[in-house]
Amino acid sequence: MQFPPTMPTSKGIALITGSAQGIGRSIALRLAQDGFDIALNDLPIKGPQLESVATEIKSLGRQVCIVPADVTVDEQVKEMVDGAVTNLGGLDVMVANAGVTTGGSLLSSTVESWDHILAVNARGPYLCYKYAAMQMIDQGRGGRIIGASSLLGKVAFPYHSLELGKHGITVNAYAPGGIPTDMVKGIMDESGKMDFSGYIDDPVARKWSTSNIPIKHVGQPEDVASIVSYLASKEAHFITGQCISVDGGISMT
């Protein structure tokens, strides 16, 4: 008698926001390779891209579900977490990866762009952390909450851990430097040179390239995914409240 192949034991369930493309996609694939079952999130309009990533994850022998949501909307984030739990059986890793950026200066910015950036980059992680933490505490087995930051965010505003250590939950962040993704198309070429002339008036500050970086090659989304892989692992249980730069050595902190 033949039996269907058994699926390898899961390391847990990971939910990654903004995982239709770029860094989020690479994180989802890496965690699937590591043995996690994956809940994929992005905006509903990213359905075809999410389905494509889901197909890749299935080919790795992992369970996967799609939980579309706008991370700026309280009820949608709650439903996103609930959907991951319903479909996959729990939540062990939350990667709040979804984010947006703008190249405008302070003086050229608008209230609308400010509100949008804060809604996605600040309210989004807050809601993801909140509902993930509630679920993890209810489960009683700890967990990993991992947020996206950036090089500029790390230099300007120190990143602090939440008060979740007593529940066995670590809170860390990754801060990518220049990574060639759709987000930086138009300001970064394949060699790593970045041109901010369309956004910054100061000619001295317009040009930035890998010549300023100790490691002389361009980082890739997979390089960021490898850091998340470690932070999501059991070995990282004693690391919390950290923001780890993945920038080729630009930041020495």
Span of 53-62, 173-182, 187-196, 241-250 with lowest mean pLDDT: 187-196
Task: Evaluate if residue 140 carries a pLDDT over 60.
Answer: yes
228 compared with 158, residue with greater pLDDT = 228
**Largest interatomic CA distance in the chain:** 74
Mean pLDDT of the chain: 83
Q: Is the pTM of this model over 0.85?
A: no
Which residue, chain included where needed, has tokens 């984030």?
Answer: 77
> Which pLDDT does position 150 carry in this prediction?
77
Residue 78 burial by CB count (10 A; 0-12/13-18/19+): exposed, middle or buried? middle
pLDDT value at 153 more than 90: no
* Domain-located, residue 33: yes
Is residue 252 one of the residues assigned to a domain? Answer: no
The full DSSP string for 141-184 is: S-EEEEEE--HHHHHHS-----S-GGGTEEEEEEEE-S--SGGG
Buried (b) or exposed (e) across 234-250, using 16+ Cβ within 10 A?
eebeeebeebbbbbbeb
Instruction: Measure the CA angle with vertex 229, ends 76 and 50; round to 5°.
Output: 40
Domain match, 19 and 67 both: yes
Residue 248 has what pLDDT?
A: 74
Are 200 and 226 members of one domain?
no
User: Whole-angstrom Cα distance, residue 182 to residue 221?
Assistant: 11
pLDDT tens readout for residues 72-117: 999 999 999 999 999 999 999 999 999 988 766 666 778 998 899 9
Whether residues 200 and 230 fall in one domain: no
Instruction: Quickly state the pLDDT bin for 1 (edges 50, 70, 90).
Output: very low
Q: How many CA atoms lie less than 13 Å away from 214 in the CB half-sphere?
A: 7
Looking at the structure of the chain, the number of domains it has is 2
Residue 6 lies in a domain: no
Q: What is the domain range of residue 58?
A: 12-179+220-246
The answer to whether 24 touches 42, Cβ cutoff 8 Å, is yes
> Mean pLDDT across the stretch 20-38?
96
- 104 and 138 share one domain: yes
For residue range 211-227, what is the model confidence (pLDDT) as tens digits? 566 666 677 788 889 88
Q: What is the CATH number of the domain that holds 147?
A: 3.40.50.720
Whether residue 189 sits in one domain with residue 72: no
Residue 209 is predicted with a pLDDT of 47
What percent of the chain is modeled with pLDDT above 90?
56
Residues 30 and 72 in one domain: yes
Same domain, 81 and 142: yes
Q: pLDDT > 70: what percent of the chain?
A: 73
- Binned at pLDDT 50, 70 and 90, residue 152 comes out as low
